[in-house]
A and B are shown apart, each in its own frame.
Chain A
Amino acid sequence: MNSSYLSVENVSITFDTDSGPLNVLDDVSLKVERGEFISLIGHSGCGKSTVLNIVAGLLQASIGGVLLENREVTEPGPDRAVVFQNHSLLPWLSVYDNVRLAVDQVFGRSKSRQERHQWTLHNLELVHMGHAIGQRPDQISGGMKQRVGIARALAMQPKVLLMDEPFGALDSLTRTHMQDSLMEIQARLNNTVIMITHDVDEAVLLSDRIVMMSNGPSARIGEILAVDLPRPRDRLPLADDPAYNHYRAEVLRFLHERHARPDVPTSNVGGDDQVEPEERPTRLKLAAG
């Protein structure tokens, strides 16, 4: 019997492509405790989304499987809510109706109409979107859309919240706001979260553990870094914190020394092509230290 809350057990997956079978994941195992915040980091195309989709039930593993509270995951369901990279709100529904659709679907039997209305509003307030409930997705900014996407996922009261690069499409300023919001929500609700990210700072700031994946094909989990920083975390003081910078350096070292992308020239190693230097005051510290 397995005791952890969520466990990914020896998952391998092989896709049939035009150029033959492609083994994307090879024997990936991961145990997640209840209330833990896990980041999944790795180079583009290594299979992070694939891991997340297998946990969500949107993809079926070729070998191995996923257990949630000791029950095998066989299909998608609202107990494993997903926040997609490009928000995926229904564009013809208002912000309220997007969340309400999920609430009605999940709590249609267990809550009264009035309760569902209140629950929808409550979740929109939680992500600070209570002022825009009547707007359509194309009338609000990218950050606001992502907030609504998170509200929709939270409203399902999932056992595990799965986020695939939730802030990847946002500008850096909006992204920091969203990270702060997410930490605030996490402090209140203490959800179990698996989040994919490309951003090293985001991973260190938000996570309890950072799961670093090796390059594909046949990607595995390379290393797991426990981030032992006290909460609540505040990005400004942390920028000067040696422990914080140590964690950052660990992740960078993994990504750029041990698992540098083969198509990236070695002179680039240590430079993250995803993020502009001005967004990262800590890099200077790292170089100096």
Chain B
Amino acid sequence: MRATIIDPQKSFRLAWLQSLLAYLESDRLVQRTLLLIRQLLIPLAAIGLFLILWSAGAASVTTSLGQLPGPAQVWDQGVQLYQEHRASREREVAFYQRQEQRNAARLARDPNAEVKIRPYTGSPTFVDQIGTSLVTVATGFLIASLIAIPIGIVCGMSATLYRSINPIIQLFKPVSPLAWLPIVTMVVSAVYVSEDPLFQKSFITSAITVTLCCIWPTIINTTVGVSSIDRDLINVSRVLRLGWLTKTLKIVIPSSVPMMFAGLRLSLGIGWMVLIAAEMLAQNPGLGKFVWDEFQNGSSDSLARIMVAVLVIGALGFILDRAMLMLQRWATWDRNAVLR
């Protein structure tokens, strides 16, 4: 069986690549065929079955926007969304070129003419929305991690501090961050007033909403990781008379890193789910807004486009999770831990 013991080098390879390599290396026909079936054909068959069920099921549901789209229509819309994005990019490039040419011409006539370049103001494409969502979730997640990890470490090291902060954590942890959204929106509009804002308010609102839900799993996991250090290791540090800083850096943090990363991974997953919902509710740019706009749009293609978005959201969430898993494996010293 694969990957019960984690090899950091292997974890960067994909399962299918591994099975392909194993296929080439092994010289026993039966074995390699079985391996191929297990690792490649069975998942593929499952996906195929899913697609068949989907198209069959979709054909029998009719909505006010027409029939529920099957895989083929969704694929077509996916291609079209990408083409729209390309077309928009080309228009943008052409727009800037025209301006430059015009400016060059004016400067040729009158070297003192004031020239300026106006920014392109096309509506964001699907790909732009993906980018916005990813940047937002990354920002919110980073802020949350920078807050949560230090809090988790000090809470884990001091029982008194933990007891005083714990009620707050327990109170806010179960709150859906969407409940925060109105408050965050109002606070951001009130506090974040600037003539030439570096970030849009909507971006800040979404990022803070993500932060609010990413904080808790990381704090809790880090606290548990830090407070469950092996007593013997603490005794080692006492016998060695390690100073507070050395003890924290050499013993406390390394030993809690696996739990810390487990918390980070949970946080990122939750953050991604919440972000989409927050974007829908608050009309902040991003994938959530794309879904909502298509829903409001209500054309015959809308459902297929929403499904493209759903699949992309799922795929990105999966990729984010895998990336965190890779980080987690890299950071985990406990080679016996089974991480999935």
Give residues in A with beta carbon < 8 Å to B: 56, 58, 75-78, 80-82, 84, 86, 88, 90-93, 101-102, 105-106, 136, 138-139, 156
Contact = CB atoms under 8 A, between A and B. Distances in A.
A212 B279 CA distance: 73
A88 B240 contact: no
B238 interface: yes
Given A58-B235, A76-B235, A86-B232, A91 B334 contact: yes
Interface string B296-340: 000000000000000000000000000000000000011110000
A82 B235 contact: yes
A78 B238 contact: no
A105 B242 contact: yes
B240 A105 contact: yes
B175 interface: no
Interface of A is mostly: loop
A90 B233 contact: yes
Interface residues on B, range: 20 to 34
Interface of B: 230, 232-233, 235-236, 238-242, 246, 250-251, 254-255, 257, 333-336
Given A90-B254, A92-B254, A105-B240, A138 B235 contact: no
A259 B266 CA distance: 55
A80 B239 contact: yes
B235 A91 contact: no
B101 to A, nearest CB: 61
A138 B232 contact: no
Nearest to A77: B241
B240 A91 contact: no
Contacts of B251: 90
B232 A88 contact: yes
Nearest to A105: B240
B235 A102 contact: no
B236 A91 contact: no
Nearest to B233: A88
A138 B336 CA distance: 8
Contacts of B255: 90-92
Nearest to A91: B333
Contacts of A101: 240, 250
A102 B334 CA distance: 22
A82 B239 contact: yes
Contacts of B333: 91-92, 136
B235 A78 contact: no
B330 to A, nearest CB: 12
Contacts of B239: 56, 58, 76-78, 80-82
A138 B239 CA distance: 23
A93 to B, nearest CB: 8
Contacts of A86: 232
A106 B240 contact: yes
Nearest to B335: A138
22 contacts: A56-B239, A76-B235, A76-B239, A76-B241, A77-B241, A78-B241, A80-B239, A81-B239, A84-B232, A88-B230, A88-B236, A90-B233, A90-B255, A91-B334, A92-B257, A101-B240, A105-B240, A106-B240, A136-B333, A136-B335, A138-B335, A138-B336
